[in-house]
Amino acid sequence: MNVKNALLSVYDKTGIAQFAGALVALGYTIYASGGTATVLKKASIPVVDVADLVGGGAILGHRVVTLSREVHAALLARPIPEDLAELDRLGIPFIDLVCVDLYPLSQEIDRPGSTLESVIDMTDIGGPTLLRSAAKGRRIVVSSRALRGEVLDWLQEGQPKETKFRRYLAGQAEALVASYALESAKYLSEGGVGGIVGQRVQLCEYGENAWQEGAALYSDGSSDPLGLLRFTAVAGRPPSYNNLAEILFRQLQTMTHIAAGFDLNFGTVPFIAIGTKHGNACGAAAVADSREALRRMLAGDHRAIFGGLVMVNFDIDEEVAELLLRQGVTSGKRLLDAICAPSFTSGAIQLLERRGAKCRLLVNPALASLSKGSLDKTPIIRAVRGGWLQQPNYTFVWDLNDPELEAIGRLTPAQAHDTILAWAICATSNSNTITLVRDGQLLGNGVGQQDRVSCCELAIKRAVDAGHKVKGAVAASDSFFPFEDGPEVLAHAGVTVILATSGSVRDQQVRDVCEAEGVNLVRLPDRRARSFFGH
């Protein structure tokens, strides 16, 4: 057991020679599969081809090498005299460390032009089997490039907390294999199999309520620049379960839909500021000046924004921080629970920090470069008793030039901008929803009502209560109006444009009311443009 052996077999050869060299310096004998062995030999690193271990050598064009009893005996043997004696009698070394990565199966599945045959050819069998044997044998199992440095540091430090670290490595290996097998199962079953594998990246103090202990945040390893791991906390306590749910799903949906709508329709993304409470926008603005966007957002509903969350697509400096704290506040400072931005200056961080670190400041530079390509395309999964629901994400973007668009009258450029802003907010608020916007500013958001006319009444009430005049506003509905009463309420309040879908048996009556009231009606078919969200 004084001799240490490592088995290396990697698809991506990046950095493998350096890793092997470091292992040799630590006293390891290196065994490697064909392609990896070739790379190591070129780097003048002493290596034994693993084919030399197996009876009869590699077969089937070198596709079956490590799938042998000799290799797996070397990984599954226990470090006890009986097993070691048997390995010695058979001439099999005890493998202490395994470094393996897998064929890029998911890349092949996603590749345009891939076929069943090409996917099967890119399905790794030997790699996952090596990882599972190494994990079961509690070897030092290195299942990703990211782990190599961590393992080398641990070896050089004398292997502290060895049992715990080996268990951690085994868990990482098993997770990789599970995820890999799941991708294959999803593909081969043509969607008949579903599931998710993730890494816990944060423990929350509790869930939605204080008595729901054990809540946590998991990552699926996505490279999405707007993914949860790309939001870095620069001040405040770790985000709570509710913070994360609101920021990483609800706010991002609204922010990216606004950006996508403006990019698609106008070719540019304005400065955007969103304030949310319980997932729904209570203030929002999209205009050409960042300070003005913030002022209009904060003026949307000054009561609801208290204790709310803010997301912007521009940097926050001391001037912006002062606006966040004092705009419209008669005494003291506005209390906010979390703020997300591309960056914060150090002075802004000092101003925004709350006693008890209760204001979380999160940074993601990708917020500054949003476009129509920023929408989240990952499926939405929702737990239900006995399983889960799964559906495609919300990726529809309203196009004012859509050939199926039905319109009464022509929109002015300002109305067109307001219409897209109203649609994006409405589409990402709890349905049923009516959203009122004017001059690039959210006036009132009537969300979550059981009937559409109540949504209209609530949106108007919230706008009036916040001190806004509804006259000249644009209204967006997340679906069609089943009766004429909703448009009548909006028109009598002064709304001049209504965006909705068509599909009601009373579509013509709704159109007639809008024409009679002088309201511009803009509609797309409900089968395409309905925006039910957050049920």
Per-residue pLDDT tens over the stretch 73-101: 999 999 999 999 999 998 999 999 999 99
Give the pLDDT score at 447.
Answer: 95
- Residue whose tokens read 């709570």: 240
pLDDT given at position 59: 60
| CA-CA-CA-CA dihedral for 484, 489, 490, 496, to nearest 10 | 80
Residue 211 covered by a domain = no
Is residue 117 classed as helix, strand or coil in its secondary structure?
helix
**Of 179, 160, 158, 156, nearest to 168 (Cα)?**
160
pLDDT at 55: 64
pLDDT, position 222: 86
Encoded tokens for 257: 């839909």
What is the pLDDT, as a whole number, of residue 228?
83
- Residues 352 and 240 both lie in one domain: yes
Neighbours of 27 (CB within 10 A): 10
CATH number at residue 134: 3.40.50.1380
The string of pLDDT tens digits covering residues 100-115 is 999 999 999 999 999 9
State the Cα–Cα distance between residues 414 and 422, nearest whole angstrom. 12
On average, the pLDDT of the chain sits at 93
Residue 357, pLDDT score: 79
Distance of alpha carbon 496 from alpha carbon 284, whole angstroms: 20
Query: 295 and 257 in one domain?
Result: yes
How many angstroms separate the CA atoms of 531 and 434, rounded?
Answer: 11
User: Does the residue 416 lie in any domain?
Assistant: yes
Distance of CA 293 to the CA centre of its chain: 26
Q: Do 242 and 175 reside in the same domain of the chain?
A: no
Dist. CA 262–CA 429, nearest whole Å: 18
Amino acid at 158: G
Partners of 436 in the β-ladder? 444, 475
Name residue, tokens 């400096």: 317
pLDDT score recorded for residue 64:
63
Amino acid letter, 352: L
Q: Taking a C-beta distance cutoff of 8 angstroms, is the pair 501, 524 a contact?
A: yes
Is residue 277 included in any domain, yes or no?
Answer: yes
pLDDT tens track for 315-372: 999 999 999 999 888 888 899 999 999 999 999 999 998 877 789 999 999 999 999 9
Q: Are residues 237 and 116 in the same domain?
A: no
374, 390, 412 - which closes a domain: 374
Domain boundary residue among 307, 339, 374?
374
What pLDDT band is residue 63 in, cutting at 50, 70 and 90? low
pLDDT at 143 over 60: yes
Residue 385 inside a domain? The answer is: no
pLDDT at 60 over 60: no
- Number of other CB atoms surrounding residue 187 within 10 Å: 20
Q: Let me know whether 64 and 171 are in one domain.
A: yes
Is a pLDDT exceeding 70 seen at residue 61?
no
pLDDT of residue 409: 87
Is residue 432 reached through a cis peptide bond, with omega within 30 degrees of 0 on the bond before it? yes
Query: Residue 285 is part of which domain span?
Result: 225-374
Residue 39 Cα distances to 66, 122, 382, 396, 483, angstroms: 18, 21, 46, 48, 72
**pLDDT at residue 149 is higher than 80:** yes
Q: Does residue 124 form part of some domain?
A: yes
Compute and round to an integer the Cα radius of gyration of the chain: 29
CA distances from 128 to 99, 111, 179, 336, 474 (A): 11, 22, 11, 47, 57
Q: Give the pLDDT score at 58.
A: 60
**Do 101 and 165 belong to one domain?**
yes
Q: Which letter, b or e, does each residue of 268-291 get, where b requires 16 or more Cβ atoms within 10 Å of its Cβ?
A: ebbbbbbbbbebbbbbbbbbeebe
What share of the chain has pLDDT > 90, as a percent?
83
Q: Is residue 197 part of a domain?
A: no
Q: What is the CATH number of the domain that holds 504?
A: 3.40.140.20
CA-to-CA separations, 210 to 206, 207, 276, 280, 444, in angstroms, rounded? 5, 6, 21, 22, 31
Query: C-alpha 11: how far from its chain's center?
Result: 27
pLDDT score, position 308: 92
Question: How much helix, strand and coil, in percent to the nearest 5, is found in the chain?
Answer: 40, 20, 40
Q: 183 and 229, same structural domain?
A: no
One domain, residues 14 and 72: yes
**pLDDT given at position 35:** 87
pLDDT of residue 66: 67
Instruction: Give 372's DSSP letter.
Output: G
Residues 209-260 pLDDT 10s: 999 998 999 998 888 999 988 899 999 888 899 999 998 889 999 999 999 9
Verify that 364 and 448 share a domain, yes or no: no
pLDDT at 343: 97
Q: Are 272 and 302 in contact (CB under 8 A)?
A: no
Co-location of 332 and 405 in the same domain: no
The answer to whether residue 389 is domain-embedded is no
350 and 457 together in one domain: no
Number of residues assigned to the chain: 535
Mean pLDDT of 382-398: 92
Residues 120, 25 share a domain: yes
pLDDT for residue 394 is more than 60: yes
Between strands 28-32 and 4-9, the pairing is parallel
- For the chain, the domain total comes to 3
